[in-house]
Amino acid sequence: MKSFAELNFPGRLIAVEGLDGSGKSTQIYLLKRWLELQQLKVYFSEWNSSELVKSATSKGKKRELLTPTTFSLIHATDFADRYERHLVPLLRAGYIVLCDRYIFTAFARDVVRGCPPEWVRGLYNFAALPDLTFFFRSDLEVSLKRILDGRPQLKYFEAGMDLRLSSDPYESFRIFQGRILEQYLAMSTEFNFLVVDANQVVEKQQAVVRELVTQRLRLQDFRRAERPPSKPPAEPRKKNLEEASAL
């Protein structure tokens, strides 16, 4: 497997991985804002977000219809849809694509759910590797607290309740996420994860992320083209709506 840079794509893909509640979504959001404010071409894509597949996934989750195999396949379908329709074309167009979770989420989760590792890896072998993968390593208790601060209850699949590890969701979460962490750590070297200590405060983590991105990517290569002079220069934010309707 090769990265997008190795495949001579003009764009670059940055992925974040980590346990639920590791704070990776906050970090990638801040990274996105930072890049956007530098007028760079940025696109953000989230795990399990393709419109069409989403309806099936949420139905499956709601009715607890999913088995480890169908759970794995439906997430692979979602990924393939985003990969073929968004990620690849945007990377061809020289975008920095930010992914909240990438194939490693499947490698970790599906294997913990009991799917054969070679099978899962085979499903995703059409995908190129990210150019940078940040792994936000948090302690289980920190993750659990972050999730519970945001909402009162753990979600069924996030707590791994389908695996019947424990009838107590909190206990189940600890066991399930603990196993996922093991899987992530086992992949860390193989896929060159950039490990960020996610127990730290938000700002400290973001400083590390921005520093590494600056070191590894030539950010000036991803600048948006200057607008043709005939059009008035766009004011950032606010005016966007008017502009869109004028088009």
| Contact positions vs another protein (CB under 8 A) | 52-53, 55-56, 59-60, 65-70, 73-74, 76-77, 80-81, 83-85, 113-116, 118-119, 122-123, 125-126
Minimal distance, residue 66 CB to another protein, in Å: 8
Q: How far, in Å, CA of 4 to CA of 110, rounded?
A: 24
Tokens 């992320």 — which residue? 209
Minimal distance, residue 123 CB to another protein, in Å: 6
Q: Which is nearer to another protein, 97 or 196 (CB)?
A: 97
Q: Residue 180 pairs with which residues in a beta bridge?
A: none
Which structure tokens are listed for 140? 């289980």
Minimal distance, residue 141 CB to another protein, in Å: 29
CA neighbor of 41 nearest in space, from 216, 233, 222: 222
- Contact assessment for residue 197 and residue 191, using Cβ atoms and an 8 Å cutoff: no
Helices and strands, number each (H, E), in the chain: 10, 5
Read off the amino acid at residue 92. Answer: R
Q: Which is nearer to another protein, 77 or 192 (CB)?
A: 77
Q: Which is nearer to another protein, 13 or 42 (CB)?
A: 13
Minimal distance, residue 174 CB to another protein, in Å: 22
Cβ-proximal residues to 112 (8 Å cutoff; 6+ apart), any chain: 160, 163, 176, 179, 180, 183
Q: Which is nearer to another protein, 25 or 77 (CB)?
A: 77
Q: How far, in Å, CA of 224 to CA of 85, rounded?
A: 21
Q: Which is nearer to another protein, 73 or 142 (CB)?
A: 73
Q: Which is nearer to another protein, 56 or 185 (CB)?
A: 56
Q: Which is nearer to another protein, 36 or 81 (CB)?
A: 81
Minimal distance, residue 232 CB to another protein, in Å: 36
Read off the amino acid at residue 176. Answer: F
Read off the amino acid at residue 180. Answer: I
Minimal distance, residue 11 CB to another protein, in Å: 18
Signed CA dihedral, 76, 11, 15, 101: sign only: negative
Minimal distance, residue 108 CB to another protein, in Å: 16
Q: Residue 13 pairs with which residues in a beta bridge?
A: 97
Which structure tokens are listed for 10? 């003009």
Q: How far, in Å, CA of 80 to CA of 58, rounded?
A: 17
